[in-house]
Chain A
Amino acid sequence: MNTYRIISVVAYIILAPFIGGLLEGFDRKISARMQRRVGPPLLQPFYDVIKLWKKQIIVVSRAQAFALITYLALIVLTGAMFFAGTDILMCFFVMSTGATFLYFAAVAASSPYSTIGANRELIQMMTYEPAVLLACVGFYLAEGSFNVADIATSNKLDILYLPGFFVAFVFILTIKMRKSPFDTSTSHHMHQELVKGLTTEMGSRNLAVFQIAEWYENVFLMAVVGLYFINSNPYSIIAGVVAILAVYFLEILIDNTSARVKWELMLKITWIVTFFSAGVNLLVLMLIRLG
């Protein structure tokens, strides 16, 4: 069991950037096809990062590079803890700490665009945090344990117990993955109100580090999606992968069919969805437990 855990942690640390980059490559290709364009090559995200790595470094603020490296390290730690099968609640706490360092990296530059982007990032964190915490609580109620290893190897199919939590989690993925209706902190398409928001002042290597951290994070989030489907049955892994691909496709579809909303609306919609899907699911689970 222990060697199995070590292998999955090492595999995550080595493979996650490649998987994350490939997923983004597919993302850009599929988005282009949805817009009736040919789109960039599949490996384009890797070309971008390598290019950024080789560009001249213009230091905006020394604190920025430090904060970004810490952000990357914490996100890698989040995923590593997850694949080591430890406490899922702890994973999300480490992830939030990482996100705070991203905030520091953005405000360190003291440019108006990146500061506004950073403030919006904080609002985004506030928006998705309830759904994330509830997701952890849901796993606990269904499985009686916060440990990823226990959840992934139990006999129960979690999605049957936690459909509401799953809906809320997928909903906040749009925020976490910086997809269109909720990409308030880093507008990811060109020429928009915030230039590039949070990442405006991150040039060359810093942007590459940010990008790689995003890949690690996306792989971790997708693994959480998979956790809803994976149990002791080996075939459930296939179900997990199918679910991950379906969720990713859904995110791309949402990204391409919606316009960005203001943060108030984002907060309202997300909390309403969280309350009604995860909250109701929580009540039902509690009643079952009592009954």
Chain B
Amino acid sequence: MANIKRSPWLLHYDGSSCNGCDIEVLACLTPMYDVERFGIINTGNPKHADIFLVTGSVNAQNESVVRQIYEQMPEPKVVVAIGICANNGGIFRECYNIKGGVDTVIPVDVYVPGCAARPEAIIDGVVKGLGVLAEKRAAMDVKEAIPTNTAKEEA
């Protein structure tokens, strides 16, 4: 069970970020912060990812993209919104094309504030996300267990 927390693979998607947060996300991979210490890999492939990092807010153009990426990820999965733009639209909130934060499209599990979010905060957010990931995995086991129990009772 603990294993799911030991190998979180990330997928990073840039909504309509100003690139500030993206650079901070990539900074996490550098020797200075080295997230691979925690087994974290930046995959770039939704089918391999456990944690979906979104930077920047969702706009009319990329709404369907965000939704599709989310749907392609296998359960259990966690969404981490990085930076105030991804949290609620931030500085771009009033723009005509902006829908708002990522949670207007897909469920968000962890909100990492900041403009730009610092690498430490991003790593902290991902580590928080690991807790949620483990919970979701446990919930999956419960779901799998229930039908067999009822089946037994019926029999």
Residues of A within 8 A of B140 (CB): 56
Residues of B within 8 A of A39 (CB): 34, 36-37
Complex Cα distance, B116 from A181, in Å, reads 35
Is residue A51 contacting chain B, with contact meaning CB distance below 8 A? yes
- Name the interface residues of B38-73: CB closer than 8 Å to any CB of A: 38-39, 41-45, 47-48, 50, 72
B7 and A196: CB pair below 8 A?
A: no
B137 and A54: CB pair below 8 A?
A: yes
Residues of B within 8 A of A35 (CB): 31
| Tally of contact residues, B, Cβ under 8 A | 25
Q: Select one of B7, B31, B44, B137 contacting A48, CB under 8 A.
A: B7
Residues of A within 8 A of B31 (CB): 35-37
Complex Cα distance, B37 from A202, in Å, reads 25
Q: Select one of B9, B47, B76 contacting A201, CB under 8 A.
A: B47
Residues of A within 8 A of B43 (CB): 190, 196
A51 and B74: CB pair below 8 A?
A: no
Residues of B within 8 A of A56 (CB): 74-76, 140
Q: Select one of A36, A50, A191, A201 contacting B42, CB under 8 A.
A: A191
Q: Select one of B7, B41, B42, B47 contacting A58, CB under 8 A.
A: B47
Is residue B115 contacting chain A, with contact meaning CB distance below 8 A? no
- Name the interface residues of B19-45: CB closer than 8 Å to any CB of A: 31, 34, 36-39, 41-45
**Size class of the contact patch on chain A:** 20 to 34
Answer whether A191 and B44 are a contact pair too, CB < 8 Å, given A37-B31, A54-B3: yes
Answer whether A50 and B3 are a contact pair too, CB < 8 Å, given A32-B36, A40-B36, A44-B39: yes
B39 and A47: CB pair below 8 A?
A: yes
- Name the interface residues of A200-253: CB closer than 8 Å to any CB of B: 200-204, 207
Residues of B within 8 A of A200 (CB): 45, 47
B50 and A51: CB pair below 8 A?
A: yes
Residues of B within 8 A of A50 (CB): 3, 7
Complex Cα distance, B18 from A240, in Å, reads 55
B45 and A196: CB pair below 8 A?
A: yes
Is residue A38 contacting chain B, with contact meaning CB distance below 8 A? yes
B36 and A51: CB pair below 8 A?
A: no
Is residue B139 contacting chain A, with contact meaning CB distance below 8 A? no
Is residue A55 contacting chain B, with contact meaning CB distance below 8 A? yes
- Name the interface residues of B100-153: CB closer than 8 Å to any CB of A: 137, 140
Residues of B within 8 A of A261 (CB): none
A44 and B7: CB pair below 8 A?
A: yes
Is residue A259 contacting chain B, with contact meaning CB distance below 8 A? no
- Name the interface residues of A25-40: CB closer than 8 Å to any CB of B: 28, 32, 35-40
Is residue A144 contacting chain B, with contact meaning CB distance below 8 A? no
Complex Cα distance, B140 from A60, in Å, reads 21
B44 and A204: CB pair below 8 A?
A: no
B74 and A32: CB pair below 8 A?
A: no
Is residue A265 contacting chain B, with contact meaning CB distance below 8 A? no
Is residue A57 contacting chain B, with contact meaning CB distance below 8 A? yes
A40 and B39: CB pair below 8 A?
A: yes
Complex Cα distance, B47 from A32, in Å, reads 25
Residues of A within 8 A of B137 (CB): 54
Answer whether A55 and B75 are a contact pair too, CB < 8 Å, given A38-B34, A44-B39, A48-B7: yes
A57 and B74: CB pair below 8 A?
A: yes
Q: Which residues of A contact B (CB under 8 A)?
A: 28, 32, 35-41, 44, 47-48, 50-51, 54-58, 60, 190-192, 195-196, 199-204, 207
Instruction: List, sorted by A's number, 28 A–B pairs whose CB atoms are closer than 8 Å.
Output: A32-B34, A35-B31, A37-B37, A39-B34, A39-B36, A39-B37, A40-B38, A40-B39, A44-B7, A48-B39, A50-B3, A51-B4, A55-B50, A55-B74, A55-B76, A56-B140, A57-B74, A58-B47, A60-B47, A190-B43, A191-B44, A192-B44, A196-B43, A196-B48, A200-B47, A201-B47, A203-B74, A207-B48
